Structure 1
Amino acid sequence: MTGSASELARRLGDHAEAVCREYLSNGHRSGNHWIVGDVRNTRGRSMHVRLMANAKGPAGKWVDEQSGEHGDLLDVIEASCGLTEFREVADEARRFLAMPRTQWPTTDAQRHPAAARGSPDAARRLFGMSQPIAGTLAGRYLAGRGIILTARERALRFHPGCYYRDLVTGETQTLPALIAAVTGVDGRITGLQRTWLDPTGNGKAQLVDPRRSLGHLLGNAIWLGLDPGVPIPVMAAGEGFETMASLRTVMPALPVAAATSANHLAGLSFPPGCRRLYIAADADAAGRHGIERLSQRAGKAGILALALRPQLGDFNDDLRHLGAASLAAWLSDQLAPVDARLFLPCG
């Protein structure tokens, strides 16, 4: 055993069907191939994994006929588990093969370009491994929260088996997750937020912290309705994604930004051409501090900042318990008349 990536891939190939049953459980065997939707373990028939070596090549090689992607079983482990570092992929492969861990030389890590844990590169890779939310558990989760967004929202994705590490025990598991891209006003992904979901469809996963962010967040946000390069004269911003997605549900033409925390809200970057900024209020002290800081920065930039306040705990509570029509009516009295007419259905 040389410890090289190619040797590890070959060993996985010796157990190709077992690997597929473990990491591509939504597929099935057909002849000498395992058939599944894609490398992220989506249901379907587009991806074919060779189970035994033949004249066409070694066991474990796969191709996705729809996307053109191809690779080996290490790629399967990486994508299906939502891993972003080769060391983690290797450790998971060794766990499956019941082999001891080893120190991997730098040359083997170059098999996949290095992406430091929590870096923007790691965020972009995980986002790229994910899929559109339509018809997925993530789409059903949002609908259950009353959030209805169009398919044009490019910031949201779904991963069926996103890697989760318990920060206390160090134990890991894979769970479905809603993936939300954090971007700058130029639309480039700098980070993301993961919301792990209960596989049975019963809301968030039963975890101490079912929502985590990674990457460069300060100044950036989860943007809904951002069109990079196009001026945004009026927008709304707030701390939580579901709060801002609720506003977007009743005002689908209004660009909104979720900064993911009170501190990040205070440092949000303004898009070109912004003249009016609606800030979704938060009841706690940290939230109020973020609103005050953002308002002050907006004033110095010549932007009029106006607060939007919910009737209940937050705007998602309003949407779920009072309904979209009630929320729209409540907002109509808080918006500038010209914005009420422009953004509200009956404004």
Structure 2
Amino acid sequence: MSSPAADLARRLARNAEAVCRHYLSNGRREGRYWLVGDVANTQGRSLFVRLSGPDHGKGAAGKWADAASGQHGDLLDLIGLNRGLDRLRDILDEARAFLALPPAPLPPLQGRLPAPRGSPESARRLYAMSRPIGGTVAQAYLHGRRITTVPHGDPLRFQPCCYYRPDEDSPTETWPALIAAVTDLGGTITGAHRTWLDPSGHDKAPIASPRRAMGHLRGHGVRFGVAHDVMVAGEGIETMLSLRMILPTLPMVAALSANHLAALLLPPTLRRLYVARDTDPAGDAATASLCTRAEAAGIEPFVLSPCFDDFNDDLRHLGIEGLRASARRQLAPPDVVRFLALAREGMSTGT
């Protein structure tokens, strides 16, 4: 039996041009497509909506894609993104209002996106709809933090139009954002972290809370590489990215907060753990807690301490060579040879 959402999506597809004229009024029709800049109705041509075609399958009417951002979906997805709606019920209500259909109570819909706000499914959807950071505002922002190398495969993406709501009573805003996938030990995405950015790329967005995480976070983190016997754990993404500038082959994880760092789940194969502490009371407490848990599990803990507040501060104030010299003094001798020496060779060849 067809679901209410599928029925609404078909009704919208049969009126695709009317949907586009209403929600994407800054676009225009060209042949069988409606062209516009993005889901927020910016002028441009990167997003295209198919206006005619079969009800489903290849070439179906109502299907859309944004060549610039990689976003795609049906007209229900488009309406949700355009109006800043992240609850399925709200999207369906908006679609019914557009189609002049009476509102009706709808049963929970299984297996259909968008997912409930803040859920792992919603985080996976956001990450999948984002694109690589190369050549974007996110890359410019990281370069401004002296983070100039992000290896291919790192869990970072860029969303040019990421929704932000200061609180439940405020209107939705859109800002570009750096998106990071939060994963469990098996690599399954359980959440996402958003850093909203100023469109210039010079700083974070001028909003009350430019960093927020969503999904299931406790025990998990943003993972850079797959840890086996040695790993570095810390709080912030920029802290880990700064250390990866000198230790690109050493697996790392950003737990995103002091509380989550203390509760981080450790791989069963781990034998040595470095904890990159932030120099504040919360960071000290989290470092002590994680080191105690590591020792109880038979893992040898080491503390990496920055010269300033965190390792991104060190990178920006000391430079690559100063950060490398500081880390060399704190690493176990086998790891200096295994990881730091490789980092120096990589830097000298420009990789």
Q: TM-score when scaled to structure 1?
A: 0.82
**Structure 1 unaligned blocks of 5 or more:** none
**Structure 2 unaligned blocks of 5 or more:** 346-351
Match for residue 63 of structure 2? 62
1:254 aligns with 2:250: yes
Give per-residue Cα distances to partners, 1:99-124, cap 9 Å, x unaligned.
Answer: 99986532485693572221111111
TM-fit CA distance, 1:65: 10
In the alignment of these two chains, the number of paired residues is: 334
TM-fit CA distance, 1:191: 0.8
In structure 2, distance between residues paired with 1:202 and 1:101: 46
TM-fit CA distance, 1:93: 6.3
1:278 aligns with 2:282: no
Match of 1:321, SS state, is helix
Match for residue 5 of structure 1? 8
Match for residue 178 of structure 1? 178
TM-fit CA distance, 1:8: 5.7
In structure 2, distance between residues paired with 1:42 and 1:271: 45
Match for residue 86 of structure 1? 88
Does the 8 A contact of 2:64 with 2:75 survive in 1?
no
Match of 1:209, SS state, is coil
Q: How does 1:213-292 map to 2 (within 5 A)?
A: 213-226=213-226, 232-292=228-288
TM-fit CA distance, 1:288: 1.0
Match for residue 117 of structure 1? 117
Match for residue 319 of structure 2? 323
Give per-residue Cα distances to partners, 1:112-146, cap 9 Å, x unaligned.
Answer: 35722211111111111111112221122112211
Quick one: structure 1 residues 145 and 107, their matched pair in 2 at CA, closer, same or farther if it must change by over 3 Å? same
In structure 1, distance between residues paired with 2:143 and 2:202: 12
In structure 2, distance between residues paired with 1:80 and 1:339: 49
In structure 2, distance between residues paired with 1:146 and 1:65: 31
Match of 2:24, SS state, is helix
Match for residue 166 of structure 2? 166
Does the 8 A contact of 2:16 with 2:62 survive in 1?
no
Q: Kindly provide the amino acid, as one letter, of the partner of residue 331 in structure 2.
A: L
TM-fit CA distance, 1:56: 6.8
Quick one: structure 1 residues 207 and 132, their matched pair in 2 at CA, closer, same or farther if it must change by over 3 Å? same
Q: How does 1:335-346 map to 2 (within 5 A)?
A: 335-344=331-340, 345-346=343-344
Q: TM-score when scaled to structure 2?
A: 0.81
Match for residue 34 of structure 1? 34
Identity of aligned residues (%): 48
Q: Root-mean-square deviation (CA), in Å?
A: 3.7
127-136 or 291-300: which moved more?
Answer: 127-136
In structure 1, distance between residues paired with 2:35 and 2:47: 6
Match of 1:341, SS state, is helix
In structure 2, distance between residues paired with 1:152 and 1:328: 22
